[in-house]
Chain A
Amino acid sequence: QVQLVESGGDLVKPGGSLRLSCAASGFTFSNYYMTWIRQAPGEGLEWVSHIDNSGSAIYYADSVKGRFTISRDNAKNSLHLQMNSLRAEDTAVYYCARGPVSGSGRFDYWGQGSLVTVSS
């Protein structure tokens, strides 16, 4: 079955850096776009970034552009999010999601999430 397991969330000071990872299993990872979606405490969902299956097409939300970098390693079935210059407003649970699925806009499987807290 499809599994997505995030890791790397932690407490970090403003201006600091953190790298999130998502280990994928149960499907052919290299065939799918992958996405990071976040949810601040008590708030709604926010699309953060996605990467196509080869890693050649990448998009970012305006709120993270220039500070976050998405990448993937198809040989290791892993997705990453390098987060630099972190701000208090980046505090959130970060979900790794499969998709958008080709020919559809859906994110059909989600990980359990990794909590990032930015605070001094």
Chain B
Amino acid sequence: QSALTQPASVSGSPGQSITISCTGTSSDIGGYIYVSWYQQHPGKVPKLIIYDVSYRPSGVSDRFSGSKSGNTASLIISGLQAEDEADYYCSSFRRSSTPYVFGTGTKVTVL
């Protein structure tokens, strides 16, 4: 039941764009559109920011976008702002007896 692989940390300056990758296999990311992304500020509850690879829930900034290629999904944050400093987690459906899995998490730092 291995987690999806994310970089431990990504950083950028205000106004820049950054990309967070999430790598899985053909049994999860590569085989399904059920990829979601969650933002978690320190001490706070995770918040859904992208679902089904590239859809944004109502109220989420359009600076957040998602994509997928093969077994890797990506979260792109454009126009980086101080408030974007948080942990980000991907998740995916997995063809398995344990049908959902999260990524290892990425800490985003705004320089």
Q: Which residues of A contact B (CB under 8 A)?
A: 35, 37, 44-47, 50, 59-63, 95, 100, 104-108, 110-113
- One of B13-21, B75-83, B101-109 contacting the partner: B101-109
Q: Are B103 and A44 in contact (CB under 8 A)?
A: yes
- Is B10 an interface position by the 8 A CB rule? no
Kindly state the separation between the CA atoms of A5 and B51 in the bound complex, as whole angstroms.
23
B28-51 interface with A by 8 A CB criterion: 32-36, 38, 40, 45-48, 51
Partner of A105, one of B3, B46, B87, B92: B92
Q: What are 21 pairs between A and B in contact, CB < 8 Å? A: A44-B3, A44-B89, A45-B38, A45-B102, A47-B100, A47-B101, A59-B99, A95-B45, A100-B34, A100-B93, A104-B51, A105-B32, A105-B36, A105-B51, A105-B100, A106-B51, A108-B48, A108-B51, A111-B45, A112-B45, A113-B45
Are A105 and B91 touching (Cβ within 8 A)?
A: yes
Task: Add 13 more A-B contacts to A44-B102, A46-B102 (CB < 8 A).
Answer: A44-B103, A47-B101, A50-B99, A61-B98, A62-B1, A62-B97, A62-B98, A104-B34, A105-B36, A105-B92, A105-B93, A108-B51, A112-B45
**Cross-chain contact B36 with A106 (CB below 8 angstroms):** yes
- In Å, the complex CA distance between A110 and B91 comes to 15
Chain A residues contacting B33 (CB-CB under 8 Å) are: 105
Asked whether B104 lies within 8 Å of A61 as measured between CB atoms, the reply is: no
Q: In the complex, which of the residues A35, A62, A106, A110 contacts B52, with contact meaning CB atoms closer than 8 Å?
A: A106
A61, B32: Cβ atoms under 8 Å?
no
The docked-state distance in angstroms from the alpha carbon of A112 to that of B43 is 10
Q: Please indicate the chain A residues that have their CB under 8 angstroms from the CB of B99 in the complex.
A: 50, 59
